[in-house]
Structures are given as structure tokens and as C-alpha cells.
Amino acid sequence: MADDQINQDEIEALLAQAKAGGAPAPPPKDDKPKEEEVPLDQSEIERLISQAPSSEPSPPPPSPGQPAAASSGASSMASDVELLLNKAEEAIASIDSPSTELPAGMRPFALDDLGGSHASTEAATLELVRDVQLDLKIELGRTHMHLEDVLRLKSGAVVPLDKLAGDPVDVLVNGRLIARGEVLVLNDNFCVRVTELVVGDSAVA
């Protein structure tokens, strides 16, 4: 029963054969007298098999002209990617932290404080608005008419107004009532003598 056990040397030979992938070699003959062999249990055999190196075939080595090019291309690609990542991180950091250095020939713009001068009572007079032109109208009165009445107007028609004879006429400047007066005739020209000034809230546009 002891002759059927596999000794340590035979197990190592089988592992080497599995690694090499060759035909099974006969176990080496040992001329020395066999010592008492200790049988191995299943757990020890599995442990030895798991410790053996993988028998998968390694990829074939590239041709002599290819390895340098492939390795250099991969390394250059990795360096380019790393360089781009570094530049992107620097750009993001520059946005978060404003730079105090300015390009050559440039300087920060300094905005001077604006100061106003006090108003001059001598210059702020009516002389500043003396040449301003205004539109002045004298209004004798007003009335409301329908369109059919306007179409009936002809030479010699009489249009009644809302004012009575002798009432003062209105003096308007740019459409705003500023005074009232009475109509006079001077050198065959109509004139208005101002009898009342309209100021403040009494002025009506």
C-alpha cells in the first residue's frame, strides 16, 4: 500500500512537466535506498499546486524594431495627458485666485474722485435763459362742435365761444396758462394787457 503513494520528488516533476507543457517524463530513478516515504494528504497537494507559477503562455516578444516605438509612443501619450491635466488645473486655480501680476506695459486704472463746485449766484441768473425761445398764444375762448357742424361752416358763419364779452383772455406759454389780460387796440394792432398772473397750482395746462 505504501508503494502506491507519490513522493515529493514525483510531485515536483509533475509540476515542472505541467509548466513546460511537454510529454510526461518518467520519474527519475533513485539508486539510493528509499527511505520511508511520508504520504501527503489532499490539502497539501492542493497547496503545492496553488503555489506553482501559472502555466499560461506569455505573450510573444515583439519584433526588434517595435518595442522601442510602442513603449515610446505610450510614454509620450501618457506625458501629454499629464501635461494637459496640469494645465487645466492651473487654469482653474487662476480663475479662483485673481492674479496680481499684470502684463508688461499695463497698469491698473485709477478712478479719481469726482468733486462738484458750489453753485455761483452771479452766474445762475436769467441771463442763462434769456435767449430761450417760447411759444406764446392768446386764447379768446373755446367751444365744442360736432363734426356735422364743422362741415356746415362757410364764409360768414358765426362760432360762439364759452366766454362773455369783456372777459379776460388767457395767455399761454408752450401750452401752459401763465396769465390773463384784456384785449386792446394799439396802432391798429391787437394787444393784450396783463391783468392777472397765474402761478403755482392755479396754472392749468
Q: Where are the domains of the chain?
A: 2-27+36-51, 133-151+161-202
Q: What is the pLDDT of residue 28?
A: 53
Which regions of the chain are under pLDDT 50?
Answer: 1-2, 55, 68-69
Q: What dotted CATH number matches 133-151+161-202?
A: 2.30.330.10
pLDDT digits (tens, 9 = 90+) for 163-195: 888 889 999 998 899 999 998 888 888 899 999
Q: What is the pLDDT of residue 38?
A: 59
Number of Cβ within 10 Å of residue 198's Cβ equals 16
**Hey, what amino acid is at 155?**
S
pTM: 0.36
Mean pLDDT score of the chain: 75
Q: In degrees rounded to 5, what are phi and psi of residue 77?
A: -65, -40
Contact partners, residue 171, CB within 8 Å, separation at least 6: 136, 137, 138, 139, 177, 178, 179, 180, 181, 192, 194
